[in-house]
Structure 1
């Protein structure tokens, strides 16, 4: 019996580490970082100013990749510590793309989320499901793991995606007030760990949160006509990175219509393909 107990002690962690998510998706736990706590001992972080240039590349990085922009936004999971260091060596600041409002079914940390916080499929991105951001206590181990990974890789900031759950069919009664509380939590979490953090879209939050977030990133703001709402960041000397997409406008329309307006607003504007590969169009 004692030998059996010893055997169970040896194999149980292996069984747990190779368990499946709530959807039966196999997860690779090799890259899972300790989710129990964060250092939370920092008093300063990267605070970009108006005038820095931006690029966004969520394709897997290659060692030969070069970027003209001052700031590069890349995937938090697929980008390695060595690649972040290489970008720093080029004089770049590096932002980690991170979903905080959904879970992608191919991420290796799916199992850190209780079933109760995983909601409906995100219609526009069927490989993702919405999360119940009201349950910060239940999300904390998952968030801690992601933030620890980002810290260990040496990123300068995070891009928190999918903050707009209150305007989507998530399966949960999430309100704008819930989102404001979640944003406050994320901002505190980032800053206490030496990370900058930006506001991603949600222009209705800008009047209050332009004082809290360190920069803003917009998608389709000029095409949809809400770019002026983000100008409040510029008045606080915080940059606005404005991204338009080729599936909504041509490069000519971007150059003719968007670039003059962006220059007037002092936004850094680029045009990208919707899958955010390496190609980038810039204002001249």
Structure 2
């Protein structure tokens, strides 16, 4: 599990059937890319698409939904291909705001860019002002996502300016870094989602292709995601403690792709 909300404070036929189930419908843009030149086009997920978010271990493909968001390091090209052959789009989870002691590229980060622990074992905030240092590392991570066949990236921890990182980060620093991250994804033909960072949605909605949000219902903030829906971009949303009967009516009204998950982000899900 990699949560940022309040961190520190805290086969064409089957796809068509799925699209009917999520009300909004599907177009060719919602299907996995076919081989050839069209495969380089950036995917644009539409509001209302159902999804599965599993960051705990190897992906379990049993959820009958058109979009999967899974850990980019822990899953390989065969896992992504298996989902594609089942008609799914696949998002690559990558942490871009913290160093992780358990990742294979951990030694690529100079000690000077490592900040305070962020509350998760083996993780420390990054000094996102050091773009010249961090950019090539993140490019290699996004290369990994592209080379494994992912359709998109979910970059985590893109609101460090609001936490105690050990660095004097500003909202301007975060905007510059987040736009760099979006650019790296687009250069590789990958869609990219804005993870949380609600205060900067007005400035960033044009740079990102969808949003990923945790607990906006619990904190009464879901309406702040409206700019993405109005732009025809999906908002993939989860709650951890609120019952579905409490947040699903508003989620449907706002056009969010919402579900209840357990905090470990395993296979279990209860969708709206």
Which bracket does the TM-score occupy, shorter chain normalised? 0.7 to 0.9
Q: What residue is the counterpart of 1:234 in the other structure?
A: 229
Is 1:184 aligned with 2:179? yes
Q: Which residue of 1 aligns with 2:46?
A: 49
Aligned length: 234
Number of the residue aligned with 1:38: none
Report if the CA contact (8 A) 2:117-2:165 is conserved: yes
SS at match of 1:150: helix
The answer (yes or no) to whether the contact 2:143–2:188 under 8 Å persists in 1 is no
Shift of 1:81: 0.4
Could you tell me which runs of 5 or more consecutive residues in structure 2 were left unpaired when the two chains were aligned.
1-38
**Residues 197-234 of structure 1 deviation map (CA, whole Å, 9 limit, x = unaligned):** 00100111111211221001110100011111001111
**Among residues 65, 70, 73, which one is paired with 1:74 in the alignment?**
70
Unaligned runs of 5+ in 1: 1-41
**Could you tell me how far apart the structure 2 residues matched to 1:240 and 1:91 are?**
20
User: Which residue of structure 1 aligns with residue 138 of structure 2?
Assistant: 143
After TM superposition, give the deviation of residue 69 of structure 1 in Å: 1.4
Cα separation, 1, equivalents of 2:70 and 2:41: 22
Aligned partner of 1:260 in structure 2 is: 249
1:155-174 alignment runs, 5 A limit: 155-174=150-169
The equivalences for 1:76-115 within 5 A come to 76-115=72-111
TM-score by length of 2: 0.83
Q: Which residue of the other structure, out of 110, 113, 116, is the alignment partner of 1:117?
A: 113
Cα separation, 2, equivalents of 1:103 and 1:69: 31
Distance 1:209 1:144 in 2: 20
- Tell me: CA distance 1:106–1:222, structure 2 relative to 1, closer, same or farther (3 Å): same
When Rg is computed on C-alpha atoms for both structures, the one with the higher figure is 1
Match of 1:7? none
Task: Name the TM-score, length of structure 1 as normaliser.
Answer: 0.80
Native 8 Å contact 1:43 1:192 kept in 2: no
Aligned equivalent of 1:61, options 51, 58, 81: 58
Partner of 1:22: none
